[in-house]
Amino acid sequence: MEEFVIEGGHPLRGEVTPSGNKNAALPLLAACLLTEEPVILRNVPQIRDVQIMRNLIESLGAVVEELDSNAWRITTKELIASHLDPDLCRKIRASILIAGPVLARAGSLRLPPPGGDVIGRRRLDTHILALRALGANIAYDRVFEIESKGLHGANILLDEASVTATENAVMAAALAKGETILRNAASEPHVQEVCQFLNILGAKIDGIGSNTLRITGVSKLNGGEFTIGPDLMEVVSYIGAAVVTRGEIRIHNAGVQHLEMVEQVFHRLGVHWKTDGDDLIVPAEQPLVIASDLDGAVPEIKTNVWPAFPTDMASIAITMATQASGSVLFHDWMFSGRMYFTDKLVGMGARIILCDPYRVLIQGPTQLYSERLESPDIRAGMALLLAALAAKGTSTIRNIRQIERGYEKVDEKLRQLGARITRQME
């Protein structure tokens, strides 16, 4: 197993370009199963989760040709009735996204339960409710048995604004007979990309970017070409890396139009940036003073569904808050295991109180010190990597495969910015 060795205390400086959005790439690869014609995806991130999704769609008959390292041509002339590898499905949460496209095109699927990060209970009920509303019969006994004699449009109110359930429902409805109205739909940028991609292939989806989507089913989809947008989690992670090391960086193609709420939250931590077109510039001089609420109360940063502050960004913001002056409460009500990584920050010198599984109180700033760490999941792993960059001394991070599930060439990009980070065998 490999690990990262990080010598902290060196300000990052330079320019970096984020890779394609992981959370868009995974459903887009699944959506390629909806058409028998060739599809070209560009800016595909070369990360572990994407490779696993590639293996899954190839097992169903997709042929993937690499035009270059980040551009793939995917052709699925016919779907092969096969039992998906349970070990592959167990490695990523996004394996559930196979359900909608295969059901729509082939009418049946045997799907092992998905895996992914261990950050608390992650229910699948919303997927099942949506697919059943579209005409699917679904049974579960250690594996999902999904079949339909023909999908039909429906008026669906999702019981939660689930990103992957929205994507599954949209992909299935694209080939269903009649009109589907999908309410309480997720509207994250990567959900918008899936809808835009399907429209390029000939789907009829209206209301993109809103919480109500109207999908008029078509008999078949065509081929097409699509470029995946920047990974906003990667953008935010490099903002955090610059801030905690007191560095100055320019992030190219940062998707700044989607960062308004993130900017509001980071302002409350005393973090500011400038924009130049679609580039984002993080200056070295940052106030790093936490803004109290109007009545002087400790501010609360609470995650919520888009366009509110996303749960995936909480871990990065928490590490940044350890370097800001003042107190702040973080509240992530979505996942009961999201906050447990903070004990590792405490071990590095941070002043953090874990109030309950969903809330932590942070008092900063504190000097962080090197430690031997292990990445528990993608986002917490990157947050710990940021802490190591800010710490005095040399830290090691084990289980870096978790980080690399979501970040392409993270050590190379950080070295280009001046970080002292190397990869070695444990």
Tell me the C-alpha distance between 198 and 220, whole Å.
11
Please name the amino acid found at residue 351: R
Catalytic residue among 117, 231, 312, 411: 117
Strand partners, 206: 214
Is residue 343 annotated as part of the catalytic site, yes or no?
no
> What are the tokens at 306?
């888009």
| Cα dihedral 201→228→187→101 (10° resolution) | 50
Nearest CA-CA partner of 169 in 235, 237, 208, 215: 215
What are the Cα distances from residue 391, in Å, to 153, 171, 319, 326, 388? 55, 45, 11, 19, 5
Active site residues: 117
